[in-house]
Structure 1
Amino acid sequence: MPSVSSVPPSSRDSVAAALRAAGCVFAEDEADLILTTARTPAETAAMVARRVSGTPLELVVGWAEFRGLRITVAPGVFVPRRRTEFLVEQALAQAPGATVVVDLCCGSGAVGAALAAGLGRVELHAADIDPAAVDCARGNVAAFGGRVHQGDLFEALPVELRGRIGILAANVPYVPSDEIGLLPQEARDHEPLVALDGGTDGLDVLRRVAAGARHWLAPGGCVLVETSRHQAPTAVDAFARGGLTARPAVSEERYAHVVIGVAP
């Protein structure tokens, strides 16, 4: 097994071999990303060492691709998943004319940035309870004129947004507390628990969003959350109890399940 210290940093084959030996399934692709991101041989070697030690690739290179955007990510911030692109697609299909967009539980701000990129000129707001996420999101939504707020769900939002939101994307934590230990090590070790743990059945935060969303949505506005297959029926019921017309949407290809609630 090649050691990191023995890998010539400029050699794609050697970098890929070190990554493959460490268990990276897409070693060649990861090697390309590291080699094109690093500015010096020493930086390449340091990146390879971090990846071999188990640091997620996105944190090693400092960014993640999301709907064609390069989203900056930082240590301690939830890394956007490619399956969440399905939530963005559903939002754009449901409300193509939305002019006010909120990315709640925003993490890096990837969803808000992608929605703004897809819609054009919008009033964009993002919010998260975690200061590290807020700092990270500011950089990612700045290009779209977005504002980022810190606080607990709707408490973080400016009151003038009530009744005006066309798209409320809330990528809430939905992993049941007793299943956190089953997550991949990269998530368990490098992402904040507050962005993963959804309570006993995984739906604690989702229920709070469902209960309050109608008061913030414009007439015909929509709220979208990501969930799991077995949680989706309960999530639909929570949205209905919150006064919304609710339905699930599924992408089998991406293992993505989204629940959409529409205000009357």
Structure 2
Amino acid sequence: MSDLVTRLRAAGCVFAEEEARLLTEAAPDPGALEHLVRRRVGGEPLELVLGWVAFDGLRVAVDPGVFVPRQRTAFLVDVAQRSLAAFAPDRPATVVDLCCGSGAVGLALAHRRPGTTLHATDVDPAAVACAARNLAAVGGTVHLGDLAAPLPMDLRGQVDALLANVPYVPTGAIAAMPPESRDHEPRGSVDGGPDGLDVLRRVAALAPEWLRPGASVHSEVAAAQVDAALEVLAGQGLRARVDRDEDRDATVVTGTRRG
């Protein structure tokens, strides 16, 4: 174990002891362990090497080529849960998770609110396959397609919470991202266009059509994007606000349909 920790630490793994333990537990034999360690030392994210990530108290499967959910994004689940508690406290909720990736955000909210009807979409077939496995436990349905395009038409105007953990890294900033993300996650899962808000603009434009009156869309953004993101939501007639968690360095903007 000490040699394994040394190899991981030399490769730049900050939590080498914990990673060594997880890799050892995941490997059925020494040969398999060596294969996993070589992948990790080569720069592959630990979550992809293990095949899962701990998120909001759940073990969420992640496959190669699928975006790894960040721990700070659990704050988006917090914000959505509070909004649902105020808007629909006494009935099962209908939730849509756009750009779902592994499905972690919708899965976490559905676990917190049993009885939730959950639909999720992603344009990447690898993400859809991964999310389908994860959401099977909560009866979620995953659709392949661009944003709301593949959703059933009878959901229009019936959605209680629209989750959209959209790509929001400005294109010019991608080169400065950590190699784990830059080299091992799909560019489309992080690239938000010149100012990082291209996908949020599209989500904001479709939100009023799909949300119930009084329901909300929630999206994570960078702190420096807050003012522009709020303008995007307000520009679609939504009542916009921001929530911030300093401990997790997490920022969530919310747009609520009026009426």
> Is the counterpart of residue 179 in structure 1 residue 192 in structure 2?
no
- Post-superposition offset of 1:156: 2.0
Indicate the SS of the match to 1:225.
Answer: strand
User: What secondary structure sits across from 1:127 in the alignment?
Assistant: strand
Query: 2 CA distance for matches of 1:40 and 1:111?
Result: 33
Provide the C-alpha distance between the structure 2 equivalents of 1:83 and 1:216, rounded to a whole number of angstroms.
Answer: 26
Residue 95 (structure 1) shift: 0.7
Aligned-residue offset at 1:36:
1.4
Q: Does 1:37 align with 2:37?
A: no
Distance in 2 (CA, whole Å) between partners of 1:32 and 1:93 is 36
Residue 102 in structure 1 maps to residue 96 in structure 2: yes
Pick aligned residue for 1:28 from 8, 11, 17: 17
Per the alignment, residue 78 of structure 2 pairs with: 89
Aligned equivalents of 1:85 and 1:220: distance in 2?
Answer: 23
Q: What is the count of residue pairs matched by the alignment?
A: 253
Q: Which moved more, 1:30-39 or 1:77-86?
A: 30-39
Residue 6 of structure 2 corresponds to 17
Say which SS state the counterpart of residue 162 (structure 2) adopts.
Answer: strand
- Say whether 1:206 aligns with 2:200: yes
1:51 corresponds to: 40
- Aligned identity (percent) is 54
**5+ residue gaps in structure 2?**
none
Query: How far apart are the structure 1 equivalents of 2:117 and 2:46?
Result: 32
CA deviations on 1:134-173 (whole Å, 9 max, x unpaired) are 1110001000000000111111211111111111100000
Q: CA deviation at 1:37?
A: 1.5
Tell me the equivalent position of 2:64: 75
- What residue in structure 2 maps to residue 5 of structure 1? none
TM-score for both structures, normalised by structure 1: 0.94
Q: Does 1:143 align with 2:137?
A: yes
1:64 lines up with 2:53 in the alignment: yes
Superposed CA deviations along residues 109-133 of structure 1, whole A, max 9, x for unmatched, are 0001001001111111110011111
- The aligned residue for residue 225 of structure 1 is 219
Question: In the alignment, residue 16 of structure 1 is paired with which amino acid?
Answer: V
State the SS of the aligned residue for 1:230: helix
2:111 pairs with one of 106, 111, 117? 117
In the TM superposition, 1:146-165 aligns within 5 A as 146-165=140-159
Amino acid at match of 1:45: E
The 1-side partners of 2:37 and 2:104 are apart by 25
What per-residue deviation string (whole Å, max 9, x for no partner) do you get for residues 209-241 of structure 1? 011101101122111000011111111111111
CA-based RMSD? 0.9
